[in-house]
Amino acid sequence: MQKRKLGNSNLEVSALGLGCMGMSFSYGPPADKQEMISLIRSAVERGVTFFDTAEVYGPFTNEELVGEALYPLRDRVVIATKFGFDLSGNDNRPGAAGLNSRPEHIKQAVEGSLKRLKVETIDLLYQHRVDPNVPIEEVAGAVKELIQLGKVKHFGLSEAGAKTIRRAHAVQPITAVQSEYSLWTRGPEAEVLPTLEELGIGFVPYSPLGKGFLTGKMDENTKLGSSDFRSTLPRFTPEAMKANQALVDLLGKIAQRKKATPAQIALAWLLAQKPWIVPIPGTTKLHRLDENIGAVAVELTADDLRDIESAASKITIQGARYPEKLEQMTGR
């Protein structure tokens, strides 16, 4: 497995990480815990060293899973987690209880994450969503203190806007920003990616396979259960999926030419954008893990990238990525 550095930091990780959220949360009922422990350990055997979780996934159960799975392999991996949601309510949906990035809450959240992850230091700690009620300088200052105490190594932001990134970075250097980015979600290209390049910050795209849609395994007839988060997303209505099929068809064409799969082309495209981009596709299946890892070996030439760009520019993606309330939490 190739390695990449996240920006100017000394944090080196595998070129592809593993997003662990879907193992316990969001995409239907939680998967079998022992099977997921085995899958996470298989990822390490295959050279994956970068694992992503958050306290809100479950809540809490995903961190416990990742902690248990990686405990015997701690010296070989980098674990990222996130704070920032208020989890004091009874409603476990992400964001239901709103945001809380007050410094005392961050410190409390980190103590819980350290225990669940069975680690003494969190390698990379992200603010999950920017909290409009707490100045980002205070958030960065709180994380800076945690870094000085040895409880955290690196600071990150998720779904933050360019101005917020600059303000936070001035207080505590940011190692990575994690936001949704893929061939059907290209918002970060306008302002965020140029800002990261200028400041020497790495970028971690989540949902690099469009929450499963870009794999070519879904279409307008796909039925999503009520426990599947995607059933609430405007982009996953049958009409939107039908309209967006054109993008999957494009990936399929390139995949045939390259003797690869649509998912591998989608990931290879991201890897080709910048050397400091590290996508974190999630999966609960070993054969998909192997397929995703195979993307690192897919070489897209300048001509391939031009072809993809030219064809993709003619496709208008239908449907917002989130319902309005969750969309408002992004890009601040």
Would the CA dihedral through 241, 243, 247, 250 be positive or negative?
A: positive
Please name the amino acid found at residue 248: V
3-state helix, strand, coil in the chain (%, to 5): 45, 15, 40
Q: How many residues are present in the chain?
A: 332
H and E: helices and strands count for the chain? 11, 9
Distance CA 278, CA 208 (A): 10
**Comparing C-alpha atoms, which of 46, 3, 41, 47 is closest to residue 20?**
41
Residue 121's CB: how many other CB atoms inside 10 A?
16
- Specify whether the CB–CB gap between 39 and 287 falls below 8 A: no
**CA 215 and chain centroid, separation:** 17
Which of 27, 57, 181, 322 is the catalytic position? Answer: 57
- Specify whether the CB–CB gap between 29 and 18 falls below 8 A: no
Catalytic site includes residue 57:
yes
Q: By three-state DSSP, how is residue 224 classified?
A: coil
- Specify whether the CB–CB gap between 13 and 26 falls below 8 A: no
- Looking from the CA of 121 toward its CB, the CA atoms found within 13 Å total 15
- Specify whether the CB–CB gap between 275 and 265 falls below 8 A: no
- β-pairing verdict for 18-19 and 50-52: parallel
* Enzyme catalytic residues: 57
